[in-house]
Amino acid sequence: MKKFLMMGLALLLTACSTSSPDVIQRGDAQRLSSVQDATVLTIRPVTVDGNQTGMGAAAGGVVGGIAGAGVGGQREGAIVGVLAAVAGAVAGNAIERMGTREEAVEILLQLKNGDRRSVVQAKGSETLLPGDAVILVTTGGKVRVTKAPVVDKQ
């Protein structure tokens, strides 16, 4: 039974993901991106809610059903198995949702043309502060904010 629980937990953990601005999707690696200059106005921490693909509920239901079916006799095992499957599905769904939550930042920006934009992105390795010169890189409909490179004027 412990083996089945560990397999279920491993299945749940494979549903976890990250959307770090430091990681670029394979399909975006050679796409032409548009770039805009901007200045950071404010930054605030936010939490991006987790995904619920159904994989957590399915895995939890299977693990719970298998674990519960081995309890008592044939009739009791069936009843406990069904109840354990439902409880496992609820728990698996909650585990998947919590496992895919991310700490992120909302960045309020002032573009060079005067427009303002708000971008929510996962916390990356760069620390942005109000007043920083940044660029908005748009690739395939996705936007990320990064510090503007320093250009030597020679």
Give the domain ranges of the chain: 1-20+50-100, 31-48+102-154
pLDDT at residue 128, as a whole number: 93
Helix (H) or strand (E) holding 62: helix 55-69
- Residue with the bigger pLDDT between 64 and 129: it is 129
Cα distance between residue 145 and residue 120, in whole Å: 9
Of the candidates 41, 153, 151, the residue with the CA atom closest to the CA atom of residue 105: 41
The SS3 of residue 139 is strand
Model confidence at 31, in pLDDT bands (50, 70, 90)?
A: low
Residue with tokens 């690739």: 139
- The whole-angstrom separation of Cα 118 and Cα 107 is 6
Please indicate, yes or no, whether the overall pTM of this predicted structure exceeds 0.75: no
For residue 2, is pLDDT > 60?
Answer: no
User: Could you read off the pLDDT of 49-75 as tens digits, one per residue?
Assistant: 766 667 766 777 677 667 666 676 666
Instruction: Please give the structure tokens belonging to residue 6.
Output: 């560990």
Encode pLDDT of 69-93 as tens digits: 667 666 676 777 777 777 777 777 6
User: Which pLDDT score is estimated for 143?
Assistant: 87
Question: In the prediction, which pLDDT does 110 show?
Answer: 95
What is the chain's mean pLDDT, rounded? 74
Q: Which of 7-11, 41-45, 112-116 has the lowest mean pLDDT?
A: 7-11
Domain 31-48+102-154: homologous superfamily in CATH: DNA polymerase B, N domain, beta-barrel (2.40.50.590)
